[in-house]
């Protein structure tokens, strides 16, 4: 899966949000707030193909957490992104 | 016939051919007129009898509410082409071609089109697009100046921006209307955001060549009680983002707008005001914005 074309992450100081800026997105009226770890994941999968395993690995790499916790957090976050409509297969 | 104007520190010219028979009255531009041979113009708009043939690719077709201005934006070899109509049911009034960098605009006013509408709408688009990378936002808001600060009320059309301004004029002493529909916000070199009056004020003829530092941005929402809530960074950004003009699908424009939005959100408090259309709403709002 990938992040849908046109969604960009914008940052102000330590606040991060996903903004719909692509062609044809003028009717999309939501912005998604990302916390620091979600922003880290987004930055690292932007423009690339990825799955829940990719996100899990990234979390394990960066944070001092075990595989199982990372896997749960990754799945939860991915679920939120899918529900927000920013992911395509 | 050539007029030069300056709005929020950006200069532009408007030109009609000498033979043109439908020159509209340009009274709303009078307070903004500057010397006619200014060399530091940001852009020029020239009215012509007809545009050349264009090879067009549609990039934006606005979904309008009934009664709202209808805009369609295209790309072509020469740059950008825009058609505007007063509503989605009306015929096209303006056919407007802009160079790639928006510095040169040529406007054909259609036979069915109202010349003033065609001119105003095209100028506003050209202004927004050419200033997007220059710390400037053309906003959809109503603005009150009180005690040396500008307070911008934002909301979708018909929600109550103008009403909030009217309530301030009635209930909060020392208030003055700066603009009722399309003010310009500009972040100056020192990082401070200022709000400027413009020649474009919707249905209210409020054309003031004045400015004030921005005191707060207030999003208006209809509610059964009056309550002001301070917004966090992301919500503030979202509010301003949806209230400013610009073609966000163009990467350079989006980057420029973002930089200005970020500067505004970092330096100016933003609120949401849930309110009734009454004077108490203005008092609640005033108390919130002044107690920051």
- Give the minimum alpha-carbon distance from A59 to chain B in angstroms, rounded to a whole number: 24
The region, left, alpha or beta by phi > 0 then psi within -120 to 50, assigned to residue B192 is beta
Nearest 5°: phi and psi at B100?
-55, -40
Of B233, B249, B265, the CB nearest to A23: B249
Q: Which residues of B touch A9 (CB under 8 A)?
A: none
Closest alpha carbon within chain B to A6: B249
Chain A residues with CB under 8 Å of B248 CB are 19, 21, 25-26
So what's the pLDDT on residue B38? 63
Provide the pLDDT for residue B67.
Answer: 72
The pLDDT, as a whole number, for residue A64 is 85
Is B178 within 8 Å of B149 (Cβ atoms)?
A: no
- Measure B261 CA to nearest chain A CA, in Å: 9
Nearest to B254 among A17, A21, A31 (CB): A21
C-alpha A44/C-alpha B233 separation (Å) is: 23
**Dist CA B44 CA B37 (whole Å):** 12
Nearest CA-CA distance, residue A26 and chain B, Å: 8
**Contact (CB<8Å) A21/B237:** no
Q: What is the CA radius of gyration of chain B?
A: 19
Mean pLDDT per 10-residue section of chain B, whose length is 292 residues: 95 96 95 86 97 94 78 96 94 97 97 96 97 96 98 91 97 98 96 97 95 98 96 92 90 94 96 96 97 84
Q: Is B266 on the interface with A (CB under 8 A)?
A: yes
Residue written as token pair 């003033």: B116
Q: Which residues of chain A have pLDDT under 70?
A: 27
CA angle B68, B74, B78 (to 5 degrees): 135
Which residues 219-248 of B are in CB contact (within 8 Å) with A?
A: 232-234, 237-238, 241-242, 248
Rounded CA gap, B142 and B155, in Å?
9
Q: What pLDDT sits at residue B181?
A: 95
Alpha-carbon gap, residue B243 to A13, rounded angstroms = 22
What was the ipTM of the complex prediction? 0.85
């Amino acid at each position: 899966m990938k992040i849908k074309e046109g969604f960009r992450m914008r940052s102000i100081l330590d606040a991060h949000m996903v903004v719909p800026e692509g062609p044809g997105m003028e009717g999309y009226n939501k912005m998604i707030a990302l916390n620091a770890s979600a922003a880290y994941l987004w930055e690292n999968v932007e423009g690339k193909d990825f799955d829940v395993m990719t996100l899990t690995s990234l979390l394990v790499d960066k944070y001092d957490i075990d595989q199982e916790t990372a896997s749960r957090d990754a799945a939860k976050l991915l679920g939120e992104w899918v529900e927000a409509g920013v992911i395509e297969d | 016939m050539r007029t030069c104007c300056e709005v929020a520190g950006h200069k532009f010219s408007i030109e009609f051919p000498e033979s043109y028979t439908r020159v509209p009255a340009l009274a709303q531009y009078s307070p903004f007129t500057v010397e006619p041979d200014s060399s530091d113009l940001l852009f020029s708009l020239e009215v012509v009898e007809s545009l050349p043939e264009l090879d067009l690719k549609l990039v934006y077709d606005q979904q309008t509410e009934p009664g709202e201005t209808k805009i369609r934006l295209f790309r072509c070899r020469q740059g950008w082409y825009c058609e505007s109509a007063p509503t989605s049911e009306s015929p096209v009034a303006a056919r407007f071609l802009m160079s790639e960098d928006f510095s040169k605009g040529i406007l054909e006013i259609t036979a069915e089109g109202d010349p003033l509408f065609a001119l105003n709408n095209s100028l506003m688009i050209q202004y927004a697009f050419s200033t997007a990378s220059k710390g400037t936002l053309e906003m959809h808001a109503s603005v009150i100046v009180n005690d040396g600060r500008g307070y911008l009320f934002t909301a979708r059309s018909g929600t109550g921006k103008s009403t909030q301004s009217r309530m301030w004029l009635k209930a909060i002493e020392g208030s003055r209307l700066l603009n009722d529909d399309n003010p310009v916000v500009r972040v100056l070199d020192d990082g401070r955001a200022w709000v400027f009056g413009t020649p474009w004020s919707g249905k209210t003829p409020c054309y003031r060549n004045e400015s004030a530092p921005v005191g707060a941005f207030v999003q208006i929402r209809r509610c059964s009680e009056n309550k002001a809530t301070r917004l966090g960074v992301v919500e503030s950004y979202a509010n301003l983002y949806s209230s400013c003009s610009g073609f966000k699908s163009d990467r350079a424009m989006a980057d420029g707008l973002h930089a200005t939005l970020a500067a505004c959100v970092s330096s100016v408090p933003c609120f949401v005001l849930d309110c009734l259309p009454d004077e108490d709403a203005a008092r609640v709002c005033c108390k919130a914005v002044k107690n920051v």
